[in-house]
């Protein structure tokens, strides 16, 4: 018998027709939320009452959600980030949680370089001036042969490093999983990575690009003290998670010219409020959490987010389970 599947992920709505067809062919009923996520907790609970699975945005999947939605068996995140899912609570409640690793890595890496070039060469300023009939010069900074510092070196960080080769950049990396003086040699198309301390990376990098997950350890890791450690000519790029950056301290650093500029695609509150002071910050390029949003990546995300539903319906353990301890839970719902 097919499952009822709620979809709150806008990417699946737009690019997931083939995946949705597969679910329907397997007997599933697929329902969209009235608006795209992330949804408030109360609204999410109301929609999940008769659902077996959800293809989710970054909605709050909390212990309360699992307790009040006893039919829910699977949270399939249409994306790589899982910080909105309480993994311990999911495992305890017997709810399986999955994500779509790798589906968006290349798209986010492309976008990271797009932001880097946009803020360094002041492209949005030039575009805005041209559209009101103006003409002027905007002196920017070069990217070619500069030093790029990667904070977090998973799939996306390594994809950014590969692109940096084309700009003849020196690439430094910081990741607790690779203590210095660890080195990844650039072979078979991989970027050469030299791992250093975070302090050394900040002191030497012309561009600092964030690719770390949102965890209690990384919460607000880029605050006033970190900006002071960066070069005054350096730029911060964040396509990872808004929680990594103390936004008030970033605004202060931009206003004081402690750093040269920033480009952000993610924020602590999304959507970013219309009156948020970041919207008025100088030398700051802002985009609405779109780094993942290439046609090819959203189609692959949609495909990967449907697969665990089909696997669980067959009685198989799905790919990309984020809370493997769930299999030991006496409350396992599948």
Examine the residue annotation and report whether 71 is marked as an active-site residue of this protein: no
Distance between CA atoms of residues 126 and 252, nearest Å: 24
Residue 190 catalytic? no
H helices present in 195-329, as ranges: 198-204, 224-229, 247-255, 295-314
Please pick, among 170, 276, 283, 289, the residue that the annotation labels catalytic: 289
Catalytic residue among 199, 255, 257, 270: 270
Query: Which string of DSSP letters, residue by residue, matches 300-326?
Result: HHHHHHHHHHHHHHHTPPPSSBS-GGG
> Peptide bond before 82: cis, by omega within 30 degrees of 0?
no
State the residue for tokens 């050469």: 192
Give yes or no: 211 in active site.
no
CA gap 200, 245 in Å, rounded:
19
Q: Which of 211, 241, 247, 300 is the catalytic position?
A: 241
Interacting residues of 11 by C-beta distance below 8 A, sequence separation 6+? 78, 79, 292, 293, 298, 301, 302
Give the C-alpha distances (Å, rounded to integers) separating 53 from 2, 244, 324, 326: 11, 30, 17, 15
Quick one: tokens of 165?
A: 């080769």
Hey, which residues are catalytic here? 241, 270, 289
């Amino acid at each position: 018998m097919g499952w009822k599947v709620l979809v709150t992920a806008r990417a699946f709505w737009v690019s997931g027709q083939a995946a949705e067809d597969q679910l329907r062919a397997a007997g599933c009923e697929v329902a969209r939320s009235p608006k795209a996520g992330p949804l408030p907790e109360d609204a999410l609970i109301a929609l999940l009452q008769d659902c077996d699975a959800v293809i989710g945005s970054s909605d709050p999947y909390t212990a309360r959600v699992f307790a009040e939605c006893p039919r829910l068996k699977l949270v399939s995140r249409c994306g790589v980030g899982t910080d909105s899912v309480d993994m311990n609570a999911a495992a305890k409640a017997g709810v399986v949680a999955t994500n779509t690793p790798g589906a968006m890595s290349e798209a986010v890496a492309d976008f990271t370089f797009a932001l880097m070039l946009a803020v360094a060469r002041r492209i949005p300023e030039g575009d805005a001036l041209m559209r009101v009939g103006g003409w002027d010069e905007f002196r920017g900074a070069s990217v070619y042969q500069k030093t790029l510092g990667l904070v977090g070196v998973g799939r996306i960080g390594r994809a950014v490093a590969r692109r940096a080769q084309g700009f003849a950049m020196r690439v430094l990396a910081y990741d607790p999983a690779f203590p210095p003086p660890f080195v990844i040699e650039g072979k078979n198309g991989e970027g050469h990575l030299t791992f250093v301390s975070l302090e050394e990376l900040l002191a030497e990098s012309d561009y600092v690009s964030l690719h770390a997950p949102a965890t209690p350890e990384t919460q607000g890791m880029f605050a006033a003290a970190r900006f002071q450690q960066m070069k005054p000519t350096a730029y911060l790029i964040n396509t990872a998670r808004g929680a990594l950056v103390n936004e008030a301290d970033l605004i202060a650093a931009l206003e004081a010219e402690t750093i040269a500029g920033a480009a952000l695609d993610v924020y602590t509150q999304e959507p970013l409020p219309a009156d948020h002071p970041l919207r008025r910050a100088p030398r700051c390029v802002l985009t609405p959490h779109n780094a993942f949003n290439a046609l090819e990546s959203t189609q692959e995300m949609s495909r990967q987010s449907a697969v665990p539903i089909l696997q669980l319906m067959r009685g198989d353990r799905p790919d990309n389970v984020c809370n493997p301890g769930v299999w030991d839970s006496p409350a396992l719902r599948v």
